[in-house]
Structure 1
Amino acid sequence: MRFYTQSFLYDDPWSIVSLAYLLRYPNPYSTHILSCDVISREVTPSGSLLTTRLILKTGSLPRWAPKGMIQRGESWVLEESEVDPLGKVMRCTTKNLDHVKVMRVEEHIHIRQTADGKTLQTTEAMFMSGFGWGLTKKIENYGLAKFKANLQRSREGFAVILNLIRQSRMQPMTMGAPNSFLLSHRSHSAMESKPSTQHEAPGNDSGRDDARQGAPPARTGIWSRWKTWLRSG
Structure 2
Amino acid sequence: MKTWTSEHVFDHSWETVMTAVMQKSPNPMNPGVVGVNVLNRLVDPSGKLHGHRLLSTERGLLSIVKRLTAAARSKNNVQEHSVDPVEKAMELKSTNISFTSMVSVDETLMYKPHPQDPETTIWTQEAIITLKGVSLQSHLERLMASTISSSASKDGEAMEWGIHKLNAEIEELTASARGSTRTPVAAAAFA
TM range (shorter): 0.7 to 0.9
Opposite residue 73 of structure 1, the aligned amino acid is S
Higher-helix-fraction structure? 2
Quick check: 1:77 aligned with 2:78?
A: yes
Opposite residue 35 of structure 2, the aligned amino acid is S
Partner in structure 1 of residue 101 of structure 2? 101
Give distance in 2, aligned partners of 1:101 and 1:168: 44
- Map 1:185-224 to 2 at 5 A: none
- Map 1:73-222 to 2 at 5 A: 73-84=74-85, 86-115=86-115, 116-117=117-118, 118-132=120-134, 134-169=135-170
Instruction: Describe the shift of the 1:43–1:141 C-alpha distance in structure 2 as closer, same or farther (beyond 3 A).
Output: same
Opposite residue 119 of structure 1, the aligned amino acid is T
Segments of structure 1 that go 5 or more residues without pairing to the other structure are: 171-183, 192-233
Contact 1:7/1:121 (CA < 8 Å) preserved in 2? Answer: yes
Quick check: 1:37 aligned with 2:37?
A: yes
Higher-strand-fraction structure? 2
SS at 1:5's partner residue? strand
Deviations 1:12-53 (A, max 9, x none): 111111111111011112222111010000001000111110
Deviations 1:158-193 (A, max 9, x none): 1110111222338xxxxxxxxxxxxx6xx97xx9xx
In the alignment of these two chains, the number of paired residues is: 172
* Identity %, equivalent residues: 21
Give distance in 2, aligned partners of 1:41 and 1:89: 17
SS at 1:169's partner residue? helix
Instruction: Describe the shift of the 1:43–1:60 C-alpha distance in structure 2 as closer, same or farther (beyond 3 A).
Output: closer
Segments of structure 2 that go 5 or more residues without pairing to the other structure are: 180-191
TM (normalized to structure 2)?
0.81
Give distance in 2, aligned partners of 1:21 and 1:124: 17
Deviations 1:111-155 (A, max 9, x none): 1113432211111111001123x2322321221111112222221
